[in-house]
Amino acid sequence: MIIGITSSVLLWYGLVQWTPFKAFNRLPDPLSVIIEWVSTDPDYGLSIFTKDYYLHILYSTYRATVAFFLALILGVPLGIMMGWRANFNAYAGALLDFLRPIPPLAWVPIAILILPGDEPAVIFVTFLVAFFATTLNTLLGVRSIDPDFFRAAECLGATDQDILRDIIIPGALPTIFTGLQIAMGAAWFSLVAGEMIAAQYGLGFMILESYNLVQYPTIIIMMATLGIVGYASSALIRVVGKKMIRWREQATGIGQEAET
Amino acid sequence: MAEGAALNTSEVHGTKSENAGIWLDQVSKSFASPDAGTIQVFQDLSVHFEPNQLHVVMGASGCGKSTLGYLLAGFISPDQGNVGLGPNPVRNPGPERLLVFQETALWPWMTVLDNVIFGPKVRGDADAKEAKHAAQGLLTKFGLADFADKYPDQLSGGMKRRAEIAQALINRPKVMILDEPFRGLDVMTREILQEYYLDLFEETRQTTVFITSELEEALFLADKIYIMGDQPARILDIIDVDLPRPRDFEVTVSKKYLEYKERAIERLFQSEES
């Protein structure tokens, strides 16, 4: 991992410093980016020592978090119902199949028109992609549960409530968490695009703003920050998922032991 | 012998015994198949499995044995005719007729103990402590006491099957239906499980319908063997296996055993030819 990162930074440096291509000349080299990033008095106003830097992170994180949890609260129950009840799927499935291919950014103008202000509009488009990913993966998770698991529970006298709590949720959980990770990634993707169009703060906004203001090192700083924040959010979901799906960990753990 | 399979319904309906047998009366069942049109699995099939006996249904794969199990368990209903347990018709799956599946049906996300107490827990017919106590007792009997807190995927194939049987038995079903429960296990494990099961049966005399395609297994376990032929499925012969209980593997070399075996093989070949 270290070799990979080091060599790509070196390549970047080399391309900017020594290549004859004009295209790379405008790109800031890694050293000046890092210097700007950790400077107590940054040339373009943003570094780890400025309050605004964290304000941008905070805005973006806040939007992504709200969108993510909305997707979780609405998408998981919807996906469960669609996977569990065939007639529910007949209603919701067709609508979802129709809406899903519409790129999230296509929703921005409508969202701005309908929702009060830019803030809810940006959150809405972010939510939308996360919602689709969550719903569809939850649906997939419920469908992938062996029908024998339902049958066995029913014949022991389990009610719908028991089946939901003891069969559907734990059975679909691994796939739901895969979906949540995809949802988080998609949320960041959509959020940055949304912020570029309709926001006054946030990492996405700042990337476009820095471009407009010819503050090129700031673009790279913001991009790298996005990478870090995105990775951290994904890792957080993974950790929570591992904690909640202990049975899988244990089972595969034993399997690995047997293999070695 | 075939008339032994025919059912006198009035007799069955008159049965008062708490642990009365499970029966099919003139059952017909067909399935729609995408490439072969309608497949008639059963036509006017009548069988009466008496209480407190170990009935083994035996036949080649694909002869409708599993369908029979599903009918008895109430997972499917007959097109015509009736299925019943004692005086009551069977309409739905229920805890008084439990089917142990061919494939594992332990929930991989629950520990072995949670799997076993699932039935009593969801029905609320025992408080948690009682259920846990009963489950631990059963697991001890099955040699799984140390594995109560493990997840199913941490168990071997044979242990899983034992856990499944414990999971069914804790519900004290009136009838246990076992659909090739030891299929896919190696010979050693299989024999160990057969002995486990036999001990358990001889202790409890739990009415059991045991479905298998292995003749040796059938002969070793059964009070009665029902030899099934197919298209449509019917009972070709019922063999009363009058071997002493408690049994152990020594019985498999006795003269009587070999006579039963010969007769069963004869019947099975007849069904192939017809």
Residues B65 and B11 in one domain: yes
A105 interface with B at CB cutoff 8 Å = no
Would you state the pLDDT for residue A11? Answer: 85
**In-domain check, residue A6:** no
Looking at the structure of chain A, the number of domains it has is 1
For residue range B60-92, list pLDDT tens digits in order.
877 788 889 989 988 889 999 999 998 889 988
As to burial, measured by CB atoms within 10 angstroms (0-12 exposed, 13-18 middle, 19+ buried), residue B259 is: exposed
B259, B271 Cβ separation under 8 angstroms: no
Residue A67 tokens, joined: 């969108």
- Return mean pLDDT, chain A: 88
A57, A207 Cβ separation under 8 angstroms: no
Closest residue in chain B to residue A154, using alpha carbons only: B93
pTM: 0.78
**In-domain check, residue A37:** no
Residue B186 has pLDDT above 80, yes or no: yes
Which of residues B139, B167, B195 is at a domain's end? B167
Residues B82 and B199 in one domain: yes
Would you state the pLDDT for residue B271? Answer: 67
> What's the one-letter identity of residue A110?
I
**In-domain check, residue B262:** yes
Residues B129 and B111 in one domain: yes
Residues B218 and B252 in one domain: yes
Would you state the pLDDT for residue B273? Answer: 63
Residue A178 tokens, joined: 């895969």
Overall average pLDDT of the B201-208 stretch = 89
Would you state the pLDDT for residue B5? Answer: 41
B98 → closest Cβ in A155, A166, A171: A155
Q: Which of A42, A48, A55 is nearest to A202 (CA)?
A: A55
Would you state the pLDDT for residue A168? Answer: 96
B169, B207 Cβ separation under 8 angstroms: no
Overall average pLDDT of the A191-210 stretch = 92
3-state secondary structure of B210: strand
B93 interface with A at CB cutoff 8 Å = yes
Would you state the pLDDT for residue A54? Answer: 95
Would you state the pLDDT for residue B249? Answer: 84
Would you state the pLDDT for residue B274? Answer: 55
- Return the number of other C-beta atoms located less than 10 Å from residue A242's C-beta: 12
Question: DSSP letters of B25-85?
Answer: EEEEEEEEETTTEEEEEEEEEEEEE-TT-EEEEE--TTSSHHHHHHHHHTSS--SEEEEEE
Residues B71 and B191 in one domain: yes
- For residue A98, give the CATH number of its domain: 1.10.3720.10
Q: What residue numbers bound the domain in which A245 lies?
A: 51-251
Would you state the pLDDT for residue B217? Answer: 92
Residue B179 contacts by C-beta under 8 Å, 6 or more apart in sequence? Answer: B65, B66, B69, B99, B100, B101, B102, B211
Report the percent of chain B where pLDDT is more than 90.
32
- For residue B250, give the CATH number of its domain: 3.40.50.300
A1 interface with B at CB cutoff 8 Å = no
**In-domain check, residue A24:** no
Could you tell me how many residues make up chain A? 260
Q: What residue numbers bound the domain in which B216 lies?
A: 2-96+173-273
Closest residue in chain A to residue B103, using alpha carbons only: A148
Question: DSSP letters of B77-130?
Answer: --SEEEEEETTEEP-S-BTTEEEE-SS----TTS-HHHHHHHHHHHHT-S-HHH
Confidence bin at B103 (pLDDT 50/70/90):
low
Would you state the pLDDT for residue B104? Answer: 67
Q: Which residues in chain A have Cβ-Cβ distances shorter than 8 Å to B118?
A: 153, 156, 158, 166
For residue range A37-81, list pLDDT tens digits in order.
988 888 888 888 899 999 999 999 999 999 999 999 999 999 999
Lowest-pLDDT range of A211-225, B27-41, B129-143: B27-41
The Cα diameter of chain B in Å comes to: 57
Residue B220 φ then ψ, to 5°: -70, -35
**In-domain check, residue A162:** yes
Residues B123 and B146 in one domain: yes
**Pairing of β B207-212 and β B37-49:** unpaired
Residue B116 has pLDDT above 90, yes or no: yes
For residue range B134-170, list pLDDT tens digits in order.
899 889 988 899 999 999 989 988 889 889 888 888 8
d(CA A111, CA A187): 16
**In-domain check, residue B91:** yes
Would you state the pLDDT for residue B102? Answer: 64
- The size of the A-B interface in CB pairs under 8 A is 71
Residue A78 contacts by C-beta under 8 Å, 6 or more apart in sequence? Answer: A92, A135, A138
Distances in whole angstroms, Cα of residue A197 to Cα of each of A12, A109, A126, A212, B236: 29, 10, 13, 13, 78
**Chain A nearest C-alpha distance from B182 (Å):** 17
The Cα diameter of chain A in Å comes to: 76
Would you state the pLDDT for residue B1? Answer: 40
**Chain B nearest C-alpha distance from A127 (Å):** 30
Helix or strand (DSSP H, E) at A180: helix A169-198
Strand order in the sheet with B22-33: B37-49, B22-33, B80-85, B88-89
B74 interface with A at CB cutoff 8 Å = yes
Whether the bond between B246 and the residue before it is cis, its omega within 30 degrees of 0, is: yes
For chain B, how far is it from start to end, CA to CA, in angstroms?
A: 18
| Block residue for tokens 């002969």 | B219
Overall average pLDDT of the A182-201 stretch = 92
d(CA B236, CA B223): 17
**In-domain check, residue A92:** yes
B109 → closest Cβ in A159, A170, A254: A170
Residues B90 and B24 in one domain: yes
Overall average pLDDT of the A198-207 stretch = 92
**In-domain check, residue A36:** no
Residue B173 φ then ψ, to 5°: -70, 155
**In-domain check, residue B101:** no
d(CA A237, CA A230): 11
B66 interface with A at CB cutoff 8 Å = no
Looking at the structure of chain B, the number of domains it has is 2
Q: Which of B65, B76, B78 is nearest to B25 (CA)?
A: B78
As to burial, measured by CB atoms within 10 angstroms (0-12 exposed, 13-18 middle, 19+ buried), residue B155 is: buried
Residues B181 and B56 in one domain: yes
Would you state the pLDDT for residue B19? Answer: 52
Residue A18 tokens, joined: 């020594």
DSSP A166: I
Overall average pLDDT of the B107-130 stretch = 89
For residue range B207-266, list pLDDT tens digits in order.
999 999 999 999 999 999 999 887 778 888 899 998 888 888 888 889 999 999 999 888
Confidence bin at A258 (pLDDT 50/70/90):
very low
B105 interface with A at CB cutoff 8 Å = yes
Residues B180 and B86 in one domain: yes
Overall average pLDDT of the A95-122 stretch = 88
Closest residue in chain B to residue A170, using alpha carbons only: B109
A186 interface with B at CB cutoff 8 Å = no
**In-domain check, residue A8:** no
Question: Chain A window 155-174: which residues touch B at a Cβ cutoff of 8 Å?
Answer: 155-159, 162, 166-167, 170-171, 173
Would you state the pLDDT for residue B231? Answer: 73
CA Rg value for chain B: 19
Query: What dihedral do alpha carbons B250, B254, B260, B262 form, nearest 10°?
Result: 110
Residues B72 and B114 in one domain: no
Lowest-pLDDT range of A48-57, A107-116, B44-53, B100-109: B100-109
Which of residues B122, B138, B167 is at a domain's end? B167
**In-domain check, residue A198:** yes
Residues B206 and B260 in one domain: yes
Residues B86 and B199 in one domain: yes
Would you state the pLDDT for residue A251? Answer: 56
Confidence bin at A140 (pLDDT 50/70/90):
very high
> Is the pLDDT higher at B69 or at B19?
B69
